[in-house]
Amino acid sequence: MRKDFELFTSRDNLLRISTYSENSPEESPCIIYIHGFKGFKDWGYVPFLCDLLSTRGYFVISFNFSHNGIGEDLLNFTELEKFANNTISLEVEELNEVIQFYRNGAFGFNPYNTKIGLIGHSRGGAISLIHESEKKNVNALALWGTVAYFDRYSENQKKRWLENGYFEVLNTRTNQMMRLNKILLEDFMNNKERFNLLKRISQIEVPILIVHGDQDLTVPLTEGMKLYESSNKDLCELYVVEKAGHTFDIVHPFQGSNPKFDLVAEKTIEFFKKRLN
C-alpha cells in the first residue's frame, strides 16, 4: 500500500515522499530509493520497484529532493528555478533528513527494526556514498549506474558557467532546456575533497552492491569499475548487466518491466535479504 507525505526540512524546503508497505512496517527493514539527476520518485520503474520491494517484506521510501524540479505535478518538471539552484550538499543534507523522519516516526509508526538499506541511481548513488561515509547510519548500499565523479564539464564550459552565472542542459526526454546556476559549480569547487567519490567509497564500512549496464551511455561502465576498484573488496560486489543501458532499458512513462530490469531487481533483493534480514 502506498501513502504520500509532504514534510518540511530544517531549511523549510518541502519534500514529497511516498512510502510502500504490506504490513507491520515497524517490524520491517527499511529501503530508501534515491533518484538521480533529472530523476524523480514517480519516474518509470520507481513505483513498480518500490511496490515489489514492499511485497518482499520491506518498508520502502521514495522521495523527491526539494530542488529536483518536480512540484505538485509529480510527472513533469515545473519548478525549473529550484532545479537551477540545486546542489550536491543540499541533497546529501536532505537524504539525512529523510532518514531522521523515518526514525522519528514521521510516517505514522515508530520503527523498532533499525536496519536501513539505500538504493541510489546515478547521481543518487553518489549522494548515498557521501552520506554513508559521513554519517555511518545505514546497513547496506546498492549503487545503480552510479557516477564515479561529479566534474563532468570541460574547463571552457566551467569558465563560461562562472562568467554567465549559469549553464544549460537539454532534457532530451522532455525537450526542456534546464538551467544550472553557478551555485552548483561553486559547490563542486568548494567541496572537492568531500565529493571525491573514489575516496568516499573506500571509507564505507557496510556492504555495497554496484550494478551497472555494460551499454550505459550516460555513465559508462568504466565508472562503475572505478568505484569497485576503490572499494573494500571484502564488502563490495560488482554486477554487470549485459546489453543494458543507464535505466536498464526501462522508459518513462512506464511500459512494464523487462528481463534485464527483473535481473537487477532480483539481484538487489537478494543482496538486501543477506544484509538486512
| Domain of residue 228, residue span | 2-78+87-149+194-276
C-alpha cell at 5: 507525505
Tell me if the bond preceding 253 is cis, omega within 30° of 0: yes
Whole-number mean pLDDT of the chain?
97
Asked whether residue 199 is domain-assigned, the answer is yes
**What is the mean pLDDT of the segment spanning 163-176?**
96
- For residue 23, pLDDT beyond 90: no
Q: Percent of the chain having pLDDT more than 90?
A: 98
> Does residue 235 lie in a domain region?
yes
Sheet holding 208-213, edge to edge: 2-8, 14-20, 59-64, 30-34, 116-121, 140-144, 208-213, 236-241
Number of CB atoms found within 10 A of residue 152's CB: 10
Q: Are 129 and 143 in contact (CB under 8 A)?
A: yes
**Residue 175 forms part of a structural domain:** no
φ, ψ dihedrals at 53, nearest 5°: -60, -40
The grid coordinates listed for 121 are 541511481
pLDDT number for residue 214: 98
Q: Report the predicted TM-score, pTM, of the whole model to 2 decimal places.
A: 0.98
Position 178 in a domain: no
Average pLDDT over residues 8-37: 97
**Residue 267, pLDDT score:** 98
pLDDT per position as a tens digit, 179-234: 999 999 999 999 999 999 999 999 999 999 999 999 999 999 999 999 999 999 99
Domain assignment present for residue 161? The answer is no
pLDDT tens, residue by residue, 45-93: 999 999 999 999 999 999 999 999 999 999 999 999 999 999 999 999 9
- Asked whether residue 233 is domain-assigned, the answer is yes
Report the pLDDT value the prediction gives residue 138, as an integer from 0 to 100: 98
- For residues 52 and 28, give the distance between their C-alpha atoms in angstroms, rounded to a whole number: 14
For residue 129, is it within any domain? yes
> How many domains does one find in the chain?
1
Question: Which pLDDT band, with edges at 50, 70 and 90, does 113 fall under?
Answer: confident
CATH number of the domain that residue 73 is part of: 3.40.50.1820
Cell of 119: 538504493
Q: What is the pLDDT, as a whole number, of residue 114?
A: 86
Residue 181 in any domain: the answer is: no
Calculate mean pLDDT across residues 136-157.
97
Burial grade of 172 (CB within 10 A; 0-12, 13-18, 19 or more): exposed
